């Protein structure tokens, strides 16, 4: 079984101040051994939506599944660990509360659905504490180096 850890970072203050039509964040994906990746993510702004972090966390989960497709050292099963309970629940069950569901949420869910189809094996989703998450530590190091989530 391949194991990947995911996390996301997002700066709510910079999003509120910008006139851009999109929101920037970063996702981190790591295997806790040697694989580490940070990617920039852009999501179109949705009127009245303020909690983009959940969408970014779900996007990190979907991207990890997508990346696992190209990793040769797995047996067809994948365990994804996230420190976001919301992302874990949404990845496992979809978004049940349709009041919070926007086009951005639907796009992230569809991205995950397509990645799971491409992966073709069994994917399970798990929660990990923030301070135990290798992907979280990766993003923390990025912040400590002065690289903000919304920087280009």
Q: What is the pTM of this model?
A: 0.93
- Give the model's pLDDT for residue 152: 62
- Give the model's pLDDT for residue 148: 82
Assess contact for 136 and 149: CB atoms under 8 A. Answer: no
Assess contact for 61 and 31: CB atoms under 8 A. Answer: no
- Give the model's pLDDT for residue 77: 92
The angle at the Cα of 44, spanning 79 to 107, to the nearest 5 degrees, equals: 40
- Give the model's pLDDT for residue 49: 80
- Give the model's pLDDT for residue 76: 83
Rounded CA gap, 112 and 82, in Å?
A: 14
Task: Return per-residue pLDDT of the chain as tens, 152 residues.
Answer: 899 999 999 877 666 666 788 888 999 999 999 999 999 999 888 887 878 899 999 999 999 999 998 886 667 899 999 999 999 999 999 888 888 888 999 999 999 999 999 999 999 999 999 999 999 999 999 999 988 877 76
DSSP state of 100: S
Instruction: Tell me how long the chain is.
Output: 152
- Give the model's pLDDT for residue 19: 78
């Amino acid at each position: 079984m391949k194991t990947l850890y995911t996390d996301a970072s997002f700066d709510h203050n910079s999003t509120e101040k910008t006139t851009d039509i999109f929101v920037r964040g970063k996702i981190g994906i790591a295997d806790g051994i040697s694989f580490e990746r940070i990617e920039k993510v852009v999501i179109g702004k949705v009127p009245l939506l303020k909690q983009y972090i959940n969408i970014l966390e779900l996007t990190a989960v979907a991207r990890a599944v997508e990346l696992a497709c190209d990793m040769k050292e797995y047996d067809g099963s994948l365990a994804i660990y996230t420190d976001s309970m919301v992302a874990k629940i949404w990845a496992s069950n979809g978004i049940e509360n349709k009041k919070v569901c926007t086009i951005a949420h639907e796009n992230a869910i569809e991205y995950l659905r397509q990645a799971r189809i491409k992966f073709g094996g069994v994917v399970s989703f798990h929660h990990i504490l923030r301070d135990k998450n290798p992907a979280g530590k990766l993003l923390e190091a990025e912040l400590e180096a002065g690289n903000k989530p919304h920087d280009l």
